[in-house]
Amino acid sequence: MSESERVFVKLGGSLITDKGKPYSARADVIDRLCGEIHAARAARELAVVVGHGGGSFPHVSAEKYQVHKGVTDQRSWEGFVKVHDDAVRLNAIVCESLGRAGELAFAIQPSAICVARAGRIETCEARAIEALLQAGLVPVPYGDVCVDEEQGCCVTSTEEIFRALAPKLAPDRILLVGKVAGVLDANGNVVPSIRAADLPGLASSLESSDGVADVTGGMLHKVERALEFGVRTQIINGLEPGLLERALMGESDVGTVIAE
């Protein structure tokens, strides 16, 4: 597997859950996307890390306990544990779906391999993930909590985890799979490509994500982190059947392309 193209895939929380209904996984969507990942891997040599957001699982508890603001009292640690437990529940659903599709999926607990400072991951141990990729498995990290050396704890998005992992695992490209056709401008049109210089003009239209609670920052956060990945990134629509598979197979003219 060492010479395979290496791709990070992030399945958005609002895509694989109903954010308006706590603890509601969209099993049919998850199964279809996992099937597309397996189909692409069966057709060409791909080493894939499949991350996913939390959606209606950890975001509800994170908002309730304000874990993203750090440790303010003992109740913050209660929230820290609760958010992690909720994230693990969704991760198990995704891993089981990948297994049914024919993949050997292995859960990666970000809170066990990462340490943050002021909400940004500073250290991340990736050697085990590299070994799993070399063996042909599919590592599955997820949006999680993290010990934070400045504020006690924080909530860590999948995009932030990808930012920390990218220099260590050197993906060839990254796919961020959501429920819109790409990054949309103020008029609702897909922006075909974004570079860092374009961000100030787009920021005001990217501040929310589906109009519901998202303690990791929504589309603006995704674009900001993607500009830090150092690798070509596509934001695509996971609600369109077959599109993820086609993107994994190399189709590059869909969604929004983000580059440095």
pLDDT tens digits for 200-244? Answer: 777 766 655 444 445 555 788 788 888 888 899 999 999 999 999
In three-state secondary structure terms, 191 is coil
Residues 6+ apart with CB under 8 A from 253: none
Summarize pLDDT for 80-127 with one digit per residue, the tens.
999 999 999 999 999 999 999 999 999 999 999 999 999 999 999 999
Q: Which residue has the tokens 């049109």?
A: 189
pTM for the predicted model, two decimal places? 0.91
Mean per-residue pLDDT, 164-177: 97
CA 87 to chain centre: 12
Tell me what pLDDT residue 14 has: 93
User: Nearest-CA neighbor of 147 among 112, 181, 107?
Assistant: 112
pLDDT at 215: 52
pLDDT (mean) for 142-158: 96
Q: Tell me 49's DSSP state.
A: E
Tokens representing 95? Answer: 């891993």
d(CA 142, CA 126): 14
Helix (H, G, I), strand (E, B) or coil at 214: coil
CATH superfamily of 5-258: Acetylglutamate kinase-like (3.40.1160.10)
Of 139, 169, 161, 155, residue with least CA distance to 87: 155
Q: How far apart are CA 155 and CA 223, in angstroms?
A: 18
CB-neighbour burial class of residue 207 (10 A; exposed 0-12, middle 13-18, buried 19+): exposed
* Site of tokens 């894939």: 48
Q: Which residue has the tokens 């990134």?
A: 233
pLDDT at 207: 55
Residue spans of the domains in the chain: they are 5-258
Secondary structure (3-state) at 178: strand
Instruction: Record the tokens describing residue 92, joined without a space.
Output: 């198990």
Residue 73 scores a pLDDT above 60: yes
Residue 2 reports pLDDT greater than 70? no
Q: What is the pLDDT of residues 22-71, one digit of tens each?
A: 999 999 999 999 999 999 999 999 999 999 999 999 988 888 899 989 99
